[in-house]
Amino acid sequence: MAWKPRPRADVDVRSLPLRPIQGFLLSRLDGASDVAALAQVTGLPLEQVTTMLGELVSLGAVEPEPGDAPPAEGPPPARQTPEQLEPLPELPETEPHLQAQHEASSDEPPPEAEPETGTHRALFESALHDKPVEERVALAHTATEPTLSALCFDPQPKVVVALMENPNMGLQQARLVARHHRTTPGLEALVSRPTFANDAAVRHWLVRNPQLAPPLFKRLWQARPLHEQYVLVISRELPQTSKRIATELLRARFANGPSEERVQLIVKTEARCLTHLTGIPIDSRTTALLCGRTYGSTTFVQNLARWSAAPPALIAHLFKQDVVRRSPQLRLLLQRHPNAPRER
């Protein structure tokens, strides 16, 4: 009987170090589709789906195939309490699963898996690559499938510009161009089409494209919500140049964006985002919104205590939290903050 993978109901997948592509596959598991059907639904090669399912089983996210030994399970890790902080540990900038948590909380859907591209690339290399450029440009204006998708692998920007004028050009082809094209003029032509530029999957691949020019990057992301910008900053997939631009955009929007967005970002990341926001103060409304909440996270308090721009009112508010009252180490850390009340 064919295996029909299903997620484990007793596991919080947000706590697992999943890669985006693993999360995409996990979201398609319904317990009724076998491995072959999942490959067809996701557009991923059968071998890749099989390999990733094995990884998900090992991580504890998916029930093992009947007859297989379940992965060894140890006792759940003990939850750290304030009393165990002796001394306070140095906190990492981010957790392995943090990006997946933010992508899951985004208002936009995750980028769809790219269809199998080997056939389209092979078609371009075997039947189209040796044609004169002008002939390929003329063909790009009117091409239909599979030639249309094959031309998305053309390295000439003239061909991509021509593809944008083809009425048969759709999101599937736009995503191929965003992921595989490597010239600024070609990517500019793609971004000039609002339907394509507004697609979540097109933006996903564009910002990971090493040839995306900084002005195009800013055009795509400068107006996006803070939590989406932060996902790019902590992404392991972006080129370093793109990550630097993403950090600039994050800092600019945090300095001038809505107070509600700032609070949402700080709370959702347990204040880890503040390591990228050094030197940027927060206004009185943001401070008031933060002071209107109750906090029970040791990590949150530590990160705020190490943020030099934390206003005095917020530091005073943290002193009142139960998690701080129970922890001499947290109180000591807050007392060392330059904006801590002197009486403490």
Together in a domain, 216 and 127: yes
Together in a domain, 234 and 305: no
Per-residue pLDDT band at 206 (split at 50, 70, 90) = very high
High-pLDDT (> 90) share of the chain, %: 58
Instruction: Please check whether residue 274 lies inside any domain of the structure.
Output: no
pLDDT digits (tens, 9 = 90+) for 275-316: 999 989 999 999 999 999 999 999 999 999 999 999 999 999
Q: Which residues are paired to 180 by β-bridges? A: none
Whole-number pLDDT of residue 84: 42
Which range marks the domain in which residue 173 is found? 118-243
Instruction: Please check whether residue 287 lies inside any domain of the structure.
Output: yes
pLDDT digits (tens, 9 = 90+) for 61-108: 888 887 654 545 444 444 444 444 344 444 444 444 444 444 433 434
Instruction: Please check whether residue 326 lies inside any domain of the structure.
Output: yes
pLDDT digits (tens, 9 = 90+) for 5-35: 888 888 877 778 788 788 778 888 878 888 8
Instruction: Please check whether residue 78 lies inside any domain of the structure.
Output: no
Together in a domain, 286 and 230: no
- Split into its structural domains, the chain has a count of 3
Instruction: Please check whether residue 96 lies inside any domain of the structure.
Output: no
Together in a domain, 284 and 238: no
Tokens linked to 176: 């191929």
pTM for the whole thing? Answer: 0.63
Whole-number pLDDT of residue 327: 93
Together in a domain, 199 and 293: no
310-318 — which CB contacts under 8 Å span 24+ positions? 310/337, 310/339, 311/281, 311/282, 311/287, 311/339, 312/339, 312/340, 312/341, 313/287, 313/288, 314/287, 314/290, 315/339, 315/340, 315/341, 316/341, 317/290, 317/291
Q: Is 269 helix (H, G, I), strand (E, B) or coil?
A: coil
